Amino acid sequence: MDLTVRHTYGTWRYQRGWKPLHIVDAEGCYFLDAAGKKYLDFSSQLMCSNLGHKNKAVIDAICKQAKQLPYVSPGFATTVRAELSKSLLKLLPEGLEKFFFTTSGTEANEAAIKIARLFTGKHKIISRYRSYHGSTAGSIAATGDLRRWTAEPVGKMDGVIFAPDADTYRSPFGSDHPNPGIASAEYIDYMIKNEGNVAAIMLEPVVGTNGVLVPPKEYLPMVREIADKNDVLLIADEVMSGWGRTGEWFAVNHWKVKPDILTTAKGITGAYAPLGLTATTREIADYFEDHYFAHGHTYEAHPLTLAPAVAAIKEYLRLDLIAEARKKGAYMGKRLSELKEKHESVGDVRGIGLFWAVELVKSRKTKEPFTNPKDKLSGKASVLDRMASEMMSRGVYILNWLSHFVIGPPLIISRNEIDQGIDALDESLNISDKEIE
């Protein structure tokens, strides 16, 4: 740990006081520290280890590819590149037919922004405040949450404007509004008409780290219609919500919405290798037949990242994990709802598939959170940090952000393991209950 702290950076944090736990092994839904203690991975690390740890088929695919062709320039064709493309054509929403491979969701979103601008000849990108799209110049500029604040003006990219969120719990239009989803979509239409020069709307179909916001049923179809009406592209950021996480291959499928560009990463390999994807329609692809495609990476379509994706897709299918996410997600939702009935500090429980958030408040009446963005940036001690530490002491790892927990375990999780995680959360909620007003 000492060498890690002294010579490497901890991300999104003050460096002083960082004491990372030394992890030495992981298998299934668990990982182990250097002392031999086992922890249930209740958030799939960063909502990315969808297949759990040490999946043999994925590991074997990496080893086989390493022996056969570990790297070649992206200017060459490879067998594994063709195999993955063929698989993607069967799984992605209809109409997404051409692919750019990256090594992260951040890079996939960076590519999507650039492609949208090149294709449309327009500049502005509409994002939302409760969003995270990555950490590089373009993707952080399109990020609505506090992680953008410290990047301004350093690394700030002009041309991104923010729309209100489709948040039914904390509606930006007030708690009395009859349908915040419709209002949020209509506001995007208003923005496009009054801003002009809008290339694309970029959104997470189900918001990830910023609270697992599941939109009302009318919202995404309305946004799709608004984009078409105004000749604007729709970019779906499925970095976190894709690959069975919500109980569909991709979250947009719940609303039968077809984006012009879809980005994804994380679960595409189950996090066994760093791979991101930017997928576009044939119309966009055809534009670049006679226009310069001004983008690329040394590690684009890296064979060692593509091979585990081919294997991961086969594992999703073999284990029927998309259906499993729906079934287990229904059980998880029931158990989490019971916590809301029991604990006064739980303001809201929301989710879809195996993707859930438990939001904590000081008062259910005012909905005042325990931690706000300014608290987070100042490094102020958090009640949720204490609760997450309590859960770790009980052998359960969970991700917290501001005033909510994000629960997204591996899709292979069992009911007994779901119970183990929720029982630990149940105990830790006694801490926040004591803090309510």
pLDDT at residue 380, as a whole number = 86
Q: Are 33 and 132 in the same domain?
A: no
Output the six-digit token pair for 271.
């996090």
For residues 127 and 211, state if they share a domain: yes
> How far apart are the C-alpha atoms of 423 and 398, rounded to whole Å?
13
Tokens standing for residue 169: 């719990």
Decide: 252 and 205 in contact? Cβ < 8 Å: yes
Which of 406, 409, 353, 410 is closest to 212 using CA atoms? 406
Q: Which of 150, 145, 149 is nearest to 132 (CA)?
A: 145
Q: Which single residue is written with the structure tokens 């004491």?
A: 19
Residues 271 and 299 in one domain: yes
Same domain, 218 and 237: yes
What pLDDT does residue 155 have?
52
Which three-class secondary structure state does DSSP give residue 411?
coil
Closest CA to 157 of 177, 171, 137, 176: 137
Q: 330 with 302, same domain? A: no
Judge if 175 and 104 occupy the same domain.
yes
pLDDT means per 10 residues in the chain (437 residues)? Answer: 92 92 98 98 98 98 98 98 98 98 98 98 97 94 91 74 94 83 94 96 98 96 98 98 98 98 98 98 98 97 98 98 98 98 97 98 95 89 95 98 97 98 98 91
Query: For residue 379, what are its two tokens?
Result: 């490094």
> Does the predicted model carry a pTM greater than 0.75?
yes
User: Cβ of 295: how many Cβ atoms within 10 Å?
Assistant: 16
Residue 103, domain extent: 57-318
CA distance 70 to 61: 11
Last residue of a domain, one of 318, 348, 366: 318
The SS3 call for residue 296 is coil
Domain co-membership, 163 together with 41 = no
Relative orientation angle of helices 303-318 and 56-68, to the nearest 10 degrees: 150
Cis peptide before 409 (omega within 30 of 0): no
In contact, 243 and 264? CB cutoff 8 Å: yes
Instruction: Specify whether 43 is located in the same domain as 95.
Output: no
88 and 235 part of one domain: yes
Q: Are residues 173 and 232 in the same domain?
A: yes
CA distance 116 to 94: 19
**Burial environment of residue 381 by CB neighbours within 10 A (0 to 12, 13 to 18, 19 or more):** exposed
Assign residue 337 the CATH number of its domain: 3.90.1150.10
HEC sequence for 347-398: EEEEEECCEEEEEEEEECCCCEECCCHHHHHHCCCCHHHHHHHHHHHCCEEC
For 36-64, give one letter per residue: b (16+ CB within 10 A) or e.
eeebbbbbbbebbbbbbbebeebeebbee
Q: In angstroms, what CA-CA distances link 278 with 96, 236, 263, 301, 305?
A: 10, 10, 5, 11, 14
Domain end (from 293, 318, 343): 318
| Chain centroid offset of residue 139 CA | 13
Q: Which pLDDT score, from 0 to 100, does residue 150 have?
A: 86
User: Can you give the CATH number for the domain in which 157 is found?
Assistant: 3.40.640.10
23 with 155, same domain: the answer is: no
The answer to whether 276 touches 239, Cβ cutoff 8 Å, is yes
Q: Determine the Cα–Cα distance for residues 330 and 318; give it in Å rounded to an integer.
A: 21
Q: How much is the pLDDT for 126?
A: 98
CB 144 within 8 A of CB 127: yes
CB neighbours of 111 closer than 8 A, spacing ≥ 6?
100, 102, 263, 278, 295
Q: How far apart, in whole angstroms, are the C-alpha atoms of residue 382 and residue 378?
A: 11
Q: Shortest CA distance to 370 belongs to which of 394, 393, 386, 349?
A: 386
How many structural domains are present in the chain? 2
Out of 289, 318, 347, a domain closes at 318
Q: Which amino acid is at 394?
A: R
- What is the Rg, in whole angstroms, of the alpha carbon atoms belonging to the chain? 21
Q: Are 134 and 241 contained in the same domain?
A: yes
Q: What is the pLDDT of residue 263?
A: 98
Taking the CB of residue 110, how many other CB atoms lie within 10 A of it? 28
